[in-house]
Structure 1
Amino acid sequence: MINTCTVVLKYIRYTLCFCLLMNVVHAQVKEQGIIPQPYSIQKNGEVFRFSPAVAINIRDGISTDNLIFFNQYFHQLAGYNLSVKKTIAPSIQLSINSNKITEPEGYQLSIASKQINIIGHDQAGVFYGLQSLVQLLHKSNGKITVQGCTIEDHPRFAYRGMHLDVSRHFFKVNAIKKWIDLLALYKINTFHWHLTDDQGWRIEIKKYPLLQSISAYRDETIIGHKKDSPHRFDGKRYGGYYTQEEVKAVVKYAMERHISIIPEIEMPGHALAALAAYPELGCTGGPYKTATYWGIFDDVYCAGNEQTFTFLKNVLDEVLPLFPSKYIHIGGDECPKTKWKTCPKCQRRIKDEHLKDEHELQSYFIGRMEKYLNSKGRQIIGWDEILEGGLAPGATVMSWTGEEGGIAAAKLHHNAIMTPEKYVYLDYYQSLYPSEPLAGGGYTPLSKVYNYEPITKELSGDEAKYIKGVQANAWSEYLASMAQAEHQIFPRILALAEIGWTDKENKSYPNFLKRLRYEQPLLKQLNINLADTFDEITDSVMESADRQIQLALSSTLPGSQIYYTTDGTTPGLKSKKYDKPFLISTSGKIKAAVFSGTKQYGRVYEKDFHLHKAIGKTVTLTNQPQGGYNPGNTFGMVNGVFGSKLYNDGQWYGFNGDDLEAVVDLGKAQPVSQLGINILKYHWQKMWEPTLLTFEISTDGKNYTEVYRQTTFNDNGINAVRANIKTTQARYIRVKGTNKGIIPPGEYIAGAKAWLMVDEIVVK
């Protein structure tokens, strides 16, 4: 275990150098904390003080080879080296005792006035004990101290992972190593490296040189968001790949930090980059081009072609020696069956193998590759679509579309890793402020990541043991630089670290934030471009007892106060002080800001309200909204808040293949002269306008009269339908929208169900 201490010492160097520069910050913090929160901490009131007399004692087979680095780093802080010798006190004792520390990766860290003891169950346990010690180091008035305590600690889950997509945007080796350092510091032990996709092939395969010269590059890259229409491009060739020697170096670097790297070689879908170089592997023979925009593509590996399997086996034969990990990720997600349905070879395969349909053909494909990897002593992991057509024996499911895949796998007694996009996708927006950098469509604030619980109530105690861990995913469509990637990953990956390591009974979001604030200066000192906006204002639009709209504002910043205005002016210390939720009585813009003392923290919060006759009224739906576009009630349809173009704010209601039929009860008959609704049209996100939209009115809820219809919606984005009608008495308003149904041929994701997206039924 030559490298058990190596990286930790690097962190000690970072931390100690940081302490030299940040004494004032440290002095303001009464108590230092550890991320992730340990299993137990018992303080003893003692203090360990570093001095030239302190020595390091390494026992039980732990290598002393790297202690010279420890002294090098320590010297930067203290101006002297710590000696390495067998001594009792004052000293730092490192040892392994699996009988005393029974949990894998577990450790005990004991700090007294004369001695620091770290006992690990294994080498990883010693390593993680040192990570905790790093976070506890404190410098004040030129003295380096550690507060006395005993920490008993071990991880909740064996698998604690972070995924990084390098296909959409390519990150160089130095960036990968930098992020691996941070994963190790926070006890994340798995790095899932997404190496191949439609937009680029990123690993050298010597048997297939065209993967380097063709598949690793694309002609240009989309500008802006995929949902924009028409698409715009930068006209610049883009790409790159890792040589096998570079991969070996990264894998070795990670292993020294007790991180296993799992490579992902995507199959049978997301294959355009590979097909661009080797078109004979596709169903049509091409020609194909490496994708220049983001999305899902119909052209996939041909499952009826033996050359496909020969190619993939040869690729894996070069990949496996580079990665000693037990698992190999084979993707398996988002594989359209369109080409397979019309491909003679695929249809012949279905017939010859006595398969029921194309879904079973995918299962055949995955099962065949699994057998090959099993023959090489490896196991497969795949995204939850590998459940389609039957789960391959021995496969581990990585559940991303929701939790259902992981639940289904666990009930079948298959191992599962929980990574649902709704909770742990780091490429999604982490705030709803308009100035937030471009990101994916979802919304996963730090609090939502932190509060995710991987063991769902649907699983029994016996089934729960098949949930092996949790992972956060960073897809790189909108991570065009290291700085952008870090802004998205940090600090949310620290929340993931605590999900994976800390027992749920020991978790506390306020306590986590307290520890995170202490970590912020260190992360910045390590040149991490973290998002430090998690204490900014968040809101809740609620219905009052008398069915009016009220707005609640909050901030997690300790000792702060919120000031707000209702006339659209910029809030300041002389504005109205927020102390409780308040009613929204007129249309207009609310602005608010957080102040710590006299200093404003973060960005100014803004929200527009549009009041009308249907505010707070009862809405009845014939069909229920689905997926991530089901807010759980109909209040958002009549709350005066319009959904944004980012469709991630919980205001939009989505109907996947189903029609909209909503009835608003105004409570009594009254004059109505304008009816409206907002429709979201983004064909590149499968969001289609209705083929027919109608408004009907009634006084009794039984007999309706149509007063407006519309069949065309021209704007890409939000179509704000406002129908001016002859003033009429009405109590009930019925809105009908006919779903596009199946997306037609030639359109993005043809053959899939269309989403009908609506928000705010307006009555004036």
Structure 2
Amino acid sequence: MLARDEKGDRMITTPTRSTRAGTLVRAFALLLTTGMVLPGCAERTAPSATERVDVLPLIPAPVEAERGDGRFRITAETVVSVAQNDAPARDAANHLARLLRDTRGLALAVREELAPSPGSIRLQLDPQSPVAQAEGYALDADAEGLRIRARDAAGLFYGAVSAWQLTSADAGRDAVETDVVEIPAVTIRDWPRFGWRGQLLDVARHFHDVDTVKHVIDAMARHKLNVLHLHLTDDQGWRIEIKRYPKLTEIGAWRTPPGAGRHGTPQRYGGYYTQEQIRELVAYAAARHITILPEIDMPGHAQAAVAAYPGEIGVTSERPPVAVDWGVNPYLFDTDERSLKFIQGVLDEVLELFPSPFIHIGGDEAVKDQWEASPAVRAQMRQLGVKDAHAMQGWFNAQLAKYLTSKGRRLIGWDEILEGGLPDSASVMSWRGVDGAVAAARLGHDVVLAPAGWMYLDNLQTERSDEPNGRLAVLPLSRVYELDPVPAELTADQARHVLGAQGALWSEYIPSRRHIDHALFPRLAAVAEVAWSPMAARDWDGFLARLPAQLQRYRALGIGSSDGAFAADIGIDGGPNTVLSGGPARIALGNQTGVGQIRYTIDGSEPTLESSRYGAPFAVTLPVTVKAAVFTEDGQPLAAARSRHFDREALLTVDTQGLRNCHDGGPLGLRVPLLPDMPGMDTPVYNVDLFYACWTYPQARLDGIAGIRIDAARLARNYGLAHDQSKVHQYPSSTPQGELEVLRGCDGELLAKVALPDGAILGEQFILEALLPPQEGVHDLCLRFTAPIEGPLYAIGAVRLIEATAQSPPVRY
């Protein structure tokens, strides 16, 4: 699948969505790493909020904001005032009061008043508000008080969010005085650029409970997002109770994980939402002006449903297990009348639960092998005059669209639904770049932008070794912020079909709430600004200047956001070989954004604002432990301290993040845990290429090296690769269980071979050691497993070269 590289004219290959399928393509990964700051680069310091008085701590950026003279002082006696019988204002006022209590410790009274009392915060539904746009608001603050007016309830709510942000710029600081807050006099006129401002949460691959979904809803509301796209069904689990078909949850909601019983992996994994819980979530979201968009994936990604009712909806009568393989699996819904009636029965209950005007039917990655192999489906295609299986999916989608239209709803699906012809009423969500959005808008269909290259938040945020599991195509904060949801190829009339944009958080590698927080934040702030703010109000440096206040709010709210964009990268200037060859050891520091002051120590102590400030690479004597933390210019933390120890052993060691692929030296495809359903974030992680069990230790200095030590593991090979399965490479083996081979370059001399241990226990970690013949010079070392590709997926956690004179465990063949 090809997508235009927006930074140039070359074409790049985008990943499939689910594995997506298998390794993410390296050109895509390299594209996403643009904007990285290499260690040793000079700091690019964003001014702090106290230095730039014109910077208001608002995310997303408002359409219009003008500073005035003076300040408004808020104390514990300040009243949040609403008019009598103004229910929308009272709801927004209560929300503001809760936020102030939770982040500032201010307990303000909400009071109905005929006229606002002096020095109060007044919220009012006003048909004459100066902002006429839907969801817009007017906010005015001066020494006499703060006033929020809007023509609809959503506008009042978002005005309350902005008022909270103005009062919480320093929320969470240890020394802050919580019972008095001063905000600048300001006039704000604000409304969203797009009516669709969304975030997808995949609860099918890994189930996330009601409290976790509410946690995401709350965070979305604080970012002025208004569509929660719940991906409720997939091959690995069916997560919504359908009373007419109870086996969908009795059977389809549960799977037997790879490595069950090991390392905390449960024997049975899954879960689902009862209809009562769904209603609770819908109401909870609605109170925060968020619509929940349900996705029932069809006709593909259907294995959990087929496992529950193979005779009713399966193309064959075979009952498969609920899938444990991420990616593209072969099971489809049948196309006959019985299957369609079943689907309509499911939709009837979905429509009763979700008032969303749109219903998402998926439609992506539907491998047509089962349809093409079925005499009944082929006969149906001939009867319908359908030319091929892609067109058959178009017919299938048309039946769903017709049914949803008859119920007053609209169908939306992933951009693959364009391939078989699109019903007139259907809308498209473009994930394979922006081309699907362009094509659909030109045909007159409404579109939502959720392109993988900008909005797939399960991609790692940095290239750091301390990142948890995820996809290795790094998606930095800056890349998310770059997206303009209106593709330049569209005319003004076509651009009117762009409903908005949304982020996506697929959960193959997001098993816990902690993983969700790490992946979403702070990138959700960039998603919010992309979807809300006009391009004229967006500015990357301004966003960075406003972001520290947002990070403080996250801390105050207990959100475990990632600080990777600001965290210090610690390395050897010129690389380890400069020291191994006898040169001086010089430490280079930097971070991804190039923002903030980096303070460091080399004596083992924790860095503070009193520690040395980094300006240029500095000399050290090995062994040494370098610790570095990053602060704003006014002394607030941007990133927690990071630590790295340097000695000769460390210089000779490359961890899984430092290993590269054997073909072009780029990153590998996935960063996976020891077992796919292990709980917690502290699981060991391994970078793997699903198609080649081959890693490169780049630029190994082999002078004086006598051996090699590899930390290895057996992982689950739980990846549905569909038609890409034939691309998985099998290296020739000398033994049934296979070996690890060490070569000088991937096409060079075989230096060592060590047999893999017997057995196939998933989640087993082990050490492989081998002697190396004397070598000279610097070479890439190729390490590859020759184990059968039908068995476990072997992986490497770290590689260490052993010097002939080093005191180390004995090496063996």
Equivalent in 298, 302, 305 of residue 334 of structure 2 = 302
Identity, in percent, stands at: 33
Equivalent in 83, 92, 95 of residue 58 of structure 1 = 83
Is the Cα–Cα contact under 8 Å of residues 315 and 370 in structure 2 kept in the other structure? yes
- Aligned pairs (5 A) from 1:328-727: 328-537=359-568, 553-554=590-591, 556=593, 560-561=597-598, 579=615, 593-594=628-629, 601-604=640-643, 688-689=728-729
The whole-number CA distance in structure 2 between the counterparts of 1:89 and 1:442 is 54
Is the Cα–Cα contact under 8 Å of residues 260 and 267 in structure 2 kept in the other structure? no
Structure with greater contact order relative to length (CA < 8 Å, sep ≥ 6): 2
Equivalent in 147, 152, 161 of residue 189 of structure 2 = 152
SS of alignment partner, residue 406 of structure 1: helix
SS of alignment partner, residue 485 of structure 1: helix
The whole-number CA distance in structure 1 between the counterparts of 2:427 and 2:499 is 9
* 1:109 and 2:139 correspond: yes
Give the stretch that moved more between structures: 88-97 or 100-109: 88-97
The whole-number CA distance in structure 1 between the counterparts of 2:372 and 2:751 is 38
Q: How far has the Cα of 1:353 moved from its partner? A: 1.6
AA at the equivalent of 1:207:
R
Is the Cα–Cα contact under 8 Å of residues 328 and 380 in structure 1 kept in the other structure? yes
What corresponds to 1:86 in structure 2?
115
The whole-number CA distance in structure 1 between the counterparts of 2:751 and 2:368 is 37
What corresponds to 1:45 in structure 2?
69
1:168-217 deviation line (CA, Å, top 9, x unaligned):
22222222222212211210000111111112111111111212311122
Is the Cα–Cα contact under 8 Å of residues 59 and 95 in structure 1 kept in the other structure? no
1:527-553 deviation line (CA, Å, top 9, x unaligned):
222223331135999999xxxxx9883
SS of alignment partner, residue 328 of structure 2: coil
AA at the equivalent of 2:643:
V
SS of alignment partner, residue 443 of structure 1: coil
1:484-520 deviation line (CA, Å, top 9, x unaligned):
2222222221221111111223223343233332233
What corresponds to 2:218 in structure 1?
181
What corresponds to 1:131 in structure 2?
161
**Measured at CA, do residues 626 and 346 of structure 1 come closer, stay the same or move farther in structure 2, by a change above 3 Å?**
farther
**Measured at CA, do residues 307 and 102 of structure 1 come closer, stay the same or move farther in structure 2, by a change above 3 Å?**
same
The whole-number CA distance in structure 2 between the counterparts of 1:219 and 1:707 is 43
Is the Cα–Cα contact under 8 Å of residues 537 and 553 in structure 1 kept in the other structure? yes
Q: How far has the Cα of 1:262 moved from its partner? A: 0.6
The whole-number CA distance in structure 2 between the counterparts of 1:102 and 1:68 is 21
What corresponds to 1:753 in structure 2?
none
What corresponds to 1:206 in structure 2?
243
**Measured at CA, do residues 296 and 561 of structure 1 come closer, stay the same or move farther in structure 2, by a change above 3 Å?**
same
Equivalent in 319, 324, 335 of residue 292 of structure 1 = 324
Equivalent in 182, 207, 218 of residue 170 of structure 1 = 207
**Measured at CA, do residues 552 and 178 of structure 1 come closer, stay the same or move farther in structure 2, by a change above 3 Å?**
closer
The whole-number CA distance in structure 2 between the counterparts of 1:604 and 1:60 is 57
Equivalent in 125, 129, 141 of residue 95 of structure 1 = 125
The whole-number CA distance in structure 1 between the counterparts of 2:744 and 2:111 is 82
- Aligned pairs (5 A) from 1:155-304: 155-220=192-257, 234=265, 236-280=267-311, 281-303=313-335
**Measured at CA, do residues 394 and 598 of structure 1 come closer, stay the same or move farther in structure 2, by a change above 3 Å?**
closer
The whole-number CA distance in structure 1 between the counterparts of 2:691 and 2:95 is 59
TM-score of the two chains, using structure 2 as the length reference: 0.68
AA at the equivalent of 1:320:
L
Q: How far has the Cα of 1:327 moved from its partner? A: 0.3
**Measured at CA, do residues 747 and 197 of structure 1 come closer, stay the same or move farther in structure 2, by a change above 3 Å?**
farther
What corresponds to 1:632 in structure 2?
none
Is the Cα–Cα contact under 8 Å of residues 248 and 308 in structure 2 kept in the other structure? yes
The whole-number CA distance in structure 2 between the counterparts of 1:81 and 1:251 is 26
Q: Which consecutive residues of structure 1, in runs of 5 or more, have no partner in the other structure?
A: 1-24, 225-230, 545-549, 612-622, 630-643, 657-680, 698-704, 728-732, 734-743, 749-764
**Measured at CA, do residues 353 and 551 of structure 1 come closer, stay the same or move farther in structure 2, by a change above 3 Å?**
farther
Is the Cα–Cα contact under 8 Å of residues 441 and 646 in structure 1 kept in the other structure? no
What corresponds to 2:697 in structure 1?
none
Is the Cα–Cα contact under 8 Å of residues 260 and 266 in structure 2 kept in the other structure? no
What corresponds to 1:14 in structure 2?
none
The whole-number CA distance in structure 2 between the counterparts of 1:134 and 1:448 is 28
The whole-number CA distance in structure 2 between the counterparts of 1:747 and 1:70 is 54
AA at the equivalent of 2:352:
P
AA at the equivalent of 2:322:
T
Q: How far has the Cα of 1:290 moved from its partner? A: 1.2
Is the Cα–Cα contact under 8 Å of residues 327 and 380 in structure 1 kept in the other structure? yes
1:54-106 deviation line (CA, Å, top 9, x unaligned):
56243895556659957985897357665623247444141333673232211
The whole-number CA distance in structure 2 between the counterparts of 1:463 and 1:517 is 37
The whole-number CA distance in structure 2 between the counterparts of 1:437 and 1:422 is 20
SS of alignment partner, residue 147 of structure 2: strand
SS of alignment partner, residue 132 of structure 2: coil
The whole-number CA distance in structure 2 between the counterparts of 1:81 and 1:62 is 12
**Measured at CA, do residues 194 and 115 of structure 1 come closer, stay the same or move farther in structure 2, by a change above 3 Å?**
same
Is the Cα–Cα contact under 8 Å of residues 626 and 655 in structure 1 kept in the other structure? no
The whole-number CA distance in structure 2 between the counterparts of 1:383 and 1:690 is 34
AA at the equivalent of 2:83:
I
SS of alignment partner, residue 47 of structure 1: strand
1:397-421 deviation line (CA, Å, top 9, x unaligned):
1122322222222232322211122
> How many residue pairs end up in the alignment?
685
AA at the equivalent of 2:58:
I
Q: Which consecutive residues of structure 2, in runs of 5 or more, have no partner in the other structure?
A: 1-47, 169-175, 576-586, 654-662, 670-683, 693-713, 722-726, 733-740, 780-787, 793-813
Q: How far has the Cα of 1:42 moved from its partner? A: 0.6
What corresponds to 2:677 in structure 1?
none
AA at the equivalent of 1:297:
N
Is the Cα–Cα contact under 8 Å of residues 211 and 277 in structure 1 kept in the other structure? yes
TM-score of the two chains, using structure 1 as the length reference: 0.72
Q: How far has the Cα of 1:370 moved from its partner? A: 1.1
Equivalent in 34, 42, 46 of residue 58 of structure 2 = 34
The whole-number CA distance in structure 2 between the counterparts of 1:589 and 1:336 is 54
**Measured at CA, do residues 684 and 64 of structure 1 come closer, stay the same or move farther in structure 2, by a change above 3 Å?**
closer
Q: How far has the Cα of 1:441 moved from its partner? A: 4.0
Is the Cα–Cα contact under 8 Å of residues 625 and 655 in structure 1 kept in the other structure? no
Is the Cα–Cα contact under 8 Å of residues 221 and 235 in structure 1 kept in the other structure? no
Q: How far has the Cα of 1:378 moved from its partner? A: 0.9
What corresponds to 1:635 in structure 2?
none
